[in-house]
Amino acid sequence: MENSVLVQLRRIPRFAKARVEAFRIHALEGGQHNTLFLVEYDSERFVYRMGRRIPDHPNHYEDEAHNARAAARVGVGPEILHFDYDDGSLLYRYIVGRTMDNDRFKDREAVKRAGRALKILHGATPFRSGHTLYTRLDRNRKSIENTPGGLFAAVPRIERAVMALRRFLEAAPVAPAPCHNDPIPENYIDCGSRIQIVDWQCAAMADPHWELGGLAAQAGFKAEQDQALIEAYFERPDDPGVSRMALYKVVVSFYWTIHHLARLAAGEDGERREKGAIAWFRHCERLLGAADLGGHVERVKKMAR
């Protein structure tokens, strides 16, 4: 594998005449859809993403490159040093920092840094293409609608309530903003004074409050972390966006319930998918039963009037 990476690296002008013996290449973990490597050359460190073509979406990499560079210009994403629009191979500077996870996001100050990063991102130069959470959610819902038994039979119990929240959100839209759209904690790198975000493949214009609710859901935020995110991003607790974020946190939890059930119905990694679906289902139920949800619903409904 190292030799094939070297061959690809030598195609990049920066490394065209580089000394092979000066490279140190290490595989990086964590890329769900990508093969990533830490590349050390002389005193510099880079991350290299191996190329893979996406024939069904010929303009995808041009859009990703545009969006990733826009994020880099405002300091939220890493500096892009090379991007091949044909196969998506990518080189960017290695970010020195801690890869975030649910435990590390228990730190309120880290949450605030993430909130400030998202606020900067959402005010950046417009991205190419658009994104909505509901396209894949609806597709997954349809794929399991006739699946009998077990947790599948329990889904309607929360689905009606979540779809009502969706209608309230859609009746009170906000302007789309540049969004990363893959708010798993591991895409956030804490550099101490700020957080940077990596993996811009899903980046597009989207509802900014979905991204906030998505991070809060996927990083397992409790009330304390939610409050830190609100302080950093909205700066005041009565901003109407706070309630839209709260509703999206529920919708995202339902999204992941359905995502795992769809994979389970397709026969993919049964035990893991069942555990994931149960965990997200219970989380969604808890959020639907939260004492403050009714107040958030009323505030969002007022936005539509």
pLDDT (0 to 100) of residue 1:
54
CATH code where residue 50 lies: 3.30.200.20
- Amino acid identity of residue 14, one-letter, is R
> Higher confidence at residue 260 or residue 57?
260
Q: Do both 125 and 25 map to the same domain?
A: no
Q: Do both 24 and 149 map to the same domain?
A: no
Task: Decide: 245 and 212 in contact? Cβ < 8 Å.
Answer: yes
Q: Do both 204 and 238 map to the same domain?
A: yes
Would you call 64 exposed, middle or buried from its count of C-beta atoms within 10 A (0-12, 13-18, 19+)? buried
pLDDT (0 to 100) of residue 146:
78
Residue 305 has pLDDT above 80, yes or no: no
pLDDT (0 to 100) of residue 32:
62
The pairing of beta strand 195-197 with beta strand 204-206: unpaired
Q: At what angle do helices 240-265 and 208-218 cross, to 10 degrees?
A: 60
89, two tokens: 């191979």
Phi and psi angles of residue 269, each rounded to the nearest 5 degrees, phi first: 50, 60
pLDDT (0 to 100) of residue 99:
96
Phi-psi region of 181 (alpha: psi -120 to 50; beta: other; left: phi over 0): left
pLDDT (0 to 100) of residue 30:
61
pLDDT tens for each residue of 268-301:
878 899 999 999 999 999 999 999 999 999 999 9
| 67, 94, 121 - which closes a domain | 94
Among 53-62, 122-131, 181-190, name the one with the lowest average pLDDT.
53-62
pLDDT tens for each residue of 142-180:
999 878 778 888 899 899 999 999 999 999 999 999 999
From residue 296, alpha-carbon distances to 67, 116, 128, 248 in Å are 32, 23, 31, 11
| 94, 120, 152 - which closes a domain | 94
Residue from 12, 192, 185 nearest 92 by CA: 12
Task: Decide: 63 and 129 in contact? Cβ < 8 Å.
Answer: yes
Q: Do both 123 and 199 map to the same domain?
A: yes
| 78, 94, 110 - which closes a domain | 94
Which strands sit side by side in the sheet containing 98-99, from one edge to the other?
98-99, 188-190, 195-197
pLDDT (0 to 100) of residue 270:
81
Q: Do both 295 and 211 map to the same domain?
A: yes
pLDDT (0 to 100) of residue 20:
86
Phi-psi region of 173 (alpha: psi -120 to 50; beta: other; left: phi over 0): beta
Phi and psi angles of residue 45, each rounded to the nearest 5 degrees, phi first: -125, 140
pLDDT (0 to 100) of residue 2:
64
pLDDT tens for each residue of 218-264:
999 999 999 999 999 999 999 999 999 999 999 999 999 999 999 99
Q: Do both 181 and 149 map to the same domain?
A: yes
pLDDT tens for each residue of 96-141:
999 999 999 999 999 999 999 999 999 999 999 999 999 999 999 9
pLDDT (0 to 100) of residue 149:
77
The β-bridge partners of 36 are 28, 49
| H or E, element range at 161 | helix 150-171
Q: Do both 73 and 181 map to the same domain?
A: no
pLDDT (0 to 100) of residue 31:
59
Instruction: Domain count for the chain, please give it.
Output: 2
pLDDT confidence bin for 52, thresholds 50/70/90: confident
DSSP string, 58-80: TTHHHHHHHHHHHHHHTTSSPPE
pLDDT confidence bin for 59, thresholds 50/70/90: confident
Q: Do both 103 and 87 map to the same domain?
A: no
Q: Do both 273 and 138 map to the same domain?
A: yes
Q: Do both 271 and 171 map to the same domain?
A: yes
CATH code where residue 155 lies: 3.90.1200.10
pLDDT tens for each residue of 189-198:
999 999 999 9
Q: What is the overall mean pLDDT for the chain?
A: 93
Q: Do both 46 and 114 map to the same domain?
A: no
Would you call 237 exposed, middle or buried from its count of C-beta atoms within 10 A (0-12, 13-18, 19+)? exposed
pLDDT (0 to 100) of residue 58:
65
Task: Decide: 180 and 189 in contact? Cβ < 8 Å.
Answer: no
Domain that holds residue 178: 99-303
Q: Do both 275 and 213 map to the same domain?
A: yes
pLDDT tens for each residue of 139-149:
999 999 878 77
293, two tokens: 């949800």
Neighbour tally for 52: CB within 10 Å: 12
- Exposure string of 267-305, with b = 16+ CB inside 10 Å and e = fewer, is eeeeeebbebbbebbebbbebbeeeebeebbebbeebee
pLDDT (0 to 100) of residue 57:
65
